[in-house]
Amino acid sequence: MAFDIEMIKKVYATFGERVDAARELVGRPLTLSEKILYAHLWDEKSNKAFTRGVDYVDFAPDRVAMQDATAQMALLQFMQAGRPKVAVPSSVHCDHLITAKLGAEIDLPHAKTESAEVFDFLSSVSNKYGIGFWKPGAGIIHQVILENYAFPGGMMIGTDSHTVNAGGLGMLAIGVGGADACDVMAGLPWELKFPKLIGVKLTGKLNGWTSAKDVILKVAGILTVKGGTGAIVEYFGDGATNLSCTGKGTICNMGAEIGATTSTFGYDDSMERYLRATNRADVADAANAVKAHLTGDAEVYAEPEKYFDQLIEINLDELEPYLNGPFTPDLATPISQMKEVAAANGWPTKVEWGLIGSCTNSSYEDLSRAASVAKQAIDKGLGKKAEFGINPGSEQVRFTADRDGLLDTFTNLDATIFTNACGPCIGMWDRTGAEKQEKNTIVHSFNRNFAKRADGNPNTYAFVTSPEIVAALAIAGDLSFNPLTDTLTNDKGEQVKLDEPTGWELPEKGYAVDDAGYQAPAEDGSNIEVKVSPTSHRLQLLDPFAAWEGTDLKGLKLLIKAKGKCTTDHISMAGPWLKFRGHLDNISNNLLIGAVNFFNDKTDTVKNQLTGEYGPVPATQRTYKADGIGSIVVGDENYGEGSSREHAAMEPRHLGVRAVLVKSFARIHETNLKKQGMLGLTFANKEDYNKIQEDDTIDILGLTEFAPNKPLTLVLHHADGTTEQFDVNHSYNEQQIEWFKAGGALNIIRREAAAKAAKN
């Protein structure tokens, strides 16, 4: 039986009538995305047809998911909300705090010891508040969600940008910050601007070396890292139904890389097969009863240009494998062109590492197809030319793959089997030699490849591709190798060609596992005490942020004017910093240390206006805070893209930054800033970015009349005594303005909980 089956049945019980009501209200056929959105309105009696990209709407998600790095801050906030138990089914997954180095047998026990304090905290707080807890080694959150919790037509939020992976099972699963998760766990509505819709029509069928990964790699090349911002991507067509469920998950997963709110597919036979294979026949039966409502209306898919804001068409019959990168996941190169493109750009073509895994590509199907390539290398006398590492997606996948001999195939090729965890994908990789910062190339089946992302080396050129192509390039050791056309020299001096990969959508003998790693919460957690040591370096109870003082903000110092790409990795790095995700003050020592300073093209070196000296960003900001001086951060386009980590918003808030002014924001980061009581502003005229000078003192005027759709005024006081002023925009609605005034959304939750408790 599935987890939360009664909740799922409850969703389906009214799904049809809510969809029918929405269709009548909107006055036209509905896309799948619209059906799920309208079926999850907080106000079930709402009679408004919402405008895409304009209206802020309150929703009622079915569940919440958190991974260990982000769960710490989310649950530290929830502990202040005044509730005895979470209001919706929720889960915590320990997958981020495990460093990949020597292999699972050594790395996992080391992580359990090193992060015991954090794991114990998450286990106890989950036990107390009714949250399902998945232990270290149980698997990567998004694979575990797909195997256990995802269901067609559902809505889920998760404190990780790749929560969207569950779209592979027909959900609207959306990445958020911990404050949003806290709201939903506290029984409050979740707010989202009603998304625009991008349709992707898939025709044909994958063949040969091409995989589901190549669909999203191509889409990323078309839409770029911000082309999906504010939109849901909905896939449909005969090509979509020809994909496996886990393949659909891969495509949805990397939708985070185009900035999409989420991505999804309509319920079909592949999803039913996957549900039944993962012991959720009850969910499949329930979904079948409302199947007509779990996909877009036929009229929509017949004339999609009428119903989507943008339409893309891809013929899977003609699609070829892609390699995306380096340094950005949207730089898409077909494998047939890589040799010429790499030469033209001076990219190093010797492949040092091939890595398979992450939440994007670590299913049984992924491992089986990559193993078929590895087996050929062994059988044909090829061996491998690059180091090779594997991260299975879950203990269930690992156990089943081990039973079926897939892991033996990898180890026979001298691959390292890492823990069922994120590992190198999120920077938790203790790579030998990375500290030398030598120029080198790696290929992986992950989702992101920003500079320093995997190993901390800014000179590692990382390329994103499918597991089978990773295997082929690890065997060849050459980025320019094309397995579709090229041959390799084996140990007998013969020229041999790799055959097309083969694999299994689902294990022929079914899935198996001895211990999946799940801990159910206590029925009554009222007597469970959650302890946080006041001297801990890993965990720190939160103090409320101060409310707005009721005046305009004047005399702000420019902390940094960030140049170019500034992701949440640049604002709050992962890797070794993950250990401080539960300690706001300690992790704030990584604030913006990866951002490039516009004025000197250096990282972590900014001018302290009080001393005239240059120093690290966090230390400089702490000086301003100590003197009671507020500051402002200025950024470029798509500021805050990438991971959902709210630390990138909480750290500047904690250290006294009052506003972030940029050309444009990534969705999740902008929301996180608002939730924490920060001002997230955009240039009305993007050219005004060039007016910001290094020694500026800045005023923000108009806050005493702060209102939706009303610009604020920025005044620059230059060091030479001159001033300039211009309008800056914001996207705050009335509720979000109240968050700002209160000093953060959590302050309002806490205040309301206290009032309710006093009344009772």
pLDDT in tens, 531-584: 898 899 999 998 889 999 999 999 999 999 999 999 999 999 987 898 899 999
Q: Looking at the domain assignment, is residue 498 inside a domain?
A: no
How far apart are the C-alpha atoms of 147 and 516, rounded to whole Å?
A: 11
Last residue of a domain, one of 491, 515, 531: 491
Last residue of a domain, one of 282, 297, 315: 315
Q: Going by C-beta distance under 8 Å and a sequence separation of 6 or more, which residues neighbour residue 410?
A: 370, 371, 374, 388, 390, 417
**Same structural domain, 187 and 96:** yes
pLDDT tens-digit readout, 699-719: 999 999 999 999 999 999 999
| CATH code: domain of residue 196 | 3.30.499.10
Which of these is catalytic: 448, 583, 717, 730?
448
Residue 28 pLDDT class (50, 70, 90 cuts) = very high
The reported pLDDT for the residue numbered 448 is 94
Q: Looking at the domain assignment, is residue 510 inside a domain?
A: no
Which of these is catalytic: 645, 647, 653, 669?
645
Mean pLDDT, rounded, for 724-741 = 97
How far apart are the C-alpha atoms of 350 and 354, rounded to whole Å?
A: 11
Q: Which helix (H) or strand (E) holds 342?
A: helix 338-345
Q: Which helix (H) or strand (E) holds 57?
A: strand 56-59
- How many domains does the structure of the chain reveal? 3
> Is 448 among the residues known to form the active site?
yes
* 322 half-sphere exposure, CB direction, 13 A CA radius: 25
Residue 652 reports pLDDT greater than 70 = yes
The reported pLDDT for the residue numbered 751 is 83
Asked if 186 and 157 touch (Cβ cutoff 8 Å), the reply is no
**Same structural domain, 208 and 283:** yes
* φ and ψ at residue 381, rounded to 5 degrees: 70, 35
* φ and ψ at residue 723, rounded to 5 degrees: -130, 155
Over its C-alpha atoms, the chain yields an Rg (Å, rounded) of 25
Q: Looking at the domain assignment, is residue 506 inside a domain?
A: no
Chain mean pLDDT for the chain: 96
**Same structural domain, 79 and 160:** yes
**Same structural domain, 311 and 329:** no
Which of these is catalytic: 93, 96, 653, 730?
96
Mean pLDDT, rounded, for 229-235 = 96
The reported pLDDT for the residue numbered 758 is 75
> Is 538 among the residues known to form the active site?
no
**Same structural domain, 359 and 311:** no
Asked if 287 and 272 touch (Cβ cutoff 8 Å), the reply is yes
List the one residue out of 134, 69, 133, 137 whose CA is nearest residue 103: 137
Residue 80 reports pLDDT greater than 90 = no
**Same structural domain, 308 and 363:** no
Residue 45 pLDDT class (50, 70, 90 cuts) = confident
Distance of CA 327 to the CA centre of its chain: 17
Hey, what are 351's tokens?
């492949």
Q: Is 365 exposed, middle or buried (0-12, 13-18, 19+ CB in 10 A)?
A: buried
How far apart are the C-alpha atoms of 147 and 759, rounded to whole Å?
A: 43
pTM of the model: 0.89
How far apart are the C-alpha atoms of 207 and 198, rounded to whole Å?
A: 25
Which of these is catalytic: 4, 62, 68, 95?
95
Residue 217 reports pLDDT greater than 80 = yes
Which of these is catalytic: 4, 107, 160, 366?
160
**Same structural domain, 292 and 377:** no
Asked if 194 and 309 touch (Cβ cutoff 8 Å), the reply is no
Q: Where are the beta strands (DSSP E) in 258-407?
A: 262-265, 310-315, 322-324, 332-334, 351-356, 387-390
Q: How far is CA 299 from CA 29, 52, 306, 308, 387, in A?
A: 6, 20, 9, 12, 50
The reported pLDDT for the residue numbered 2 is 87
Count Cβ atoms below 10 Å from residue 23 Cβ, excluding itself: 17
**Same structural domain, 666 and 576:** yes
**Same structural domain, 328 and 301:** no
Residue type, 95: D
Mean pLDDT, rounded, for 158-178 = 96
Q: Looking at the domain assignment, is residue 57 inside a domain?
A: yes
Asked if 308 and 201 touch (Cβ cutoff 8 Å), the reply is no
Last residue of a domain, one of 315, 339, 364: 315
| Lowest mean pLDDT, pick from 154-168, 218-232, 567-581, 667-681 | 567-581
Residue 436 pLDDT class (50, 70, 90 cuts) = very high
| Lowest mean pLDDT, pick from 176-185, 250-259, 399-408, 417-426 | 176-185
Residue 500 pLDDT class (50, 70, 90 cuts) = very high
Hey, what are 551's tokens?
């005046």
- Please spell the DSSP secondary structure of 642-668, one letter per residue: S---THHHHHHHHHTEEEEEES-B-HH
Residue 667 pLDDT class (50, 70, 90 cuts) = confident
The reported pLDDT for the residue numbered 760 is 67
Hey, what are 739's tokens?
């968050």
List the one residue out of 41, 90, 293 whose CA is nearest residue 192: 41
Q: Looking at the domain assignment, is residue 579 inside a domain?
A: yes
What is the domain extent for residue 723?
Answer: 553-755
**Same structural domain, 244 and 388:** no
How much of the chain, in percent, has pLDDT values that exceed 90?
Answer: 93
pLDDT tens-digit readout, 574-627: 878 988 999 999 999 999 999 999 999 999 999 999 999 999 999 999 999 999
Residue 1 reports pLDDT greater than 70 = no
> Is 581 among the residues known to form the active site?
no
Asked if 404 and 74 touch (Cβ cutoff 8 Å), the reply is no
Higher-pLDDT residue of 83, 12: 12
Q: Looking at the domain assignment, is residue 584 inside a domain?
A: yes
**Same structural domain, 575 and 627:** yes
**Same structural domain, 180 and 283:** yes
List the one residue out of 37, 73, 33, 227 whose CA is nearest residue 644: 73
| CATH code: domain of residue 597 | 3.20.19.10
Q: Going by C-beta distance under 8 Å and a sequence separation of 6 or more, which residues neighbour residue 760?
A: none
Q: Looking at the domain assignment, is residue 541 inside a domain?
A: no
How far apart are the C-alpha atoms of 331 and 218, rounded to whole Å?
A: 9
Residue 233 reports pLDDT greater than 80 = yes
Q: Looking at the domain assignment, is residue 468 inside a domain?
A: yes
> Is 273 among the residues known to form the active site?
no
Which of these is catalytic: 538, 643, 658, 717?
643
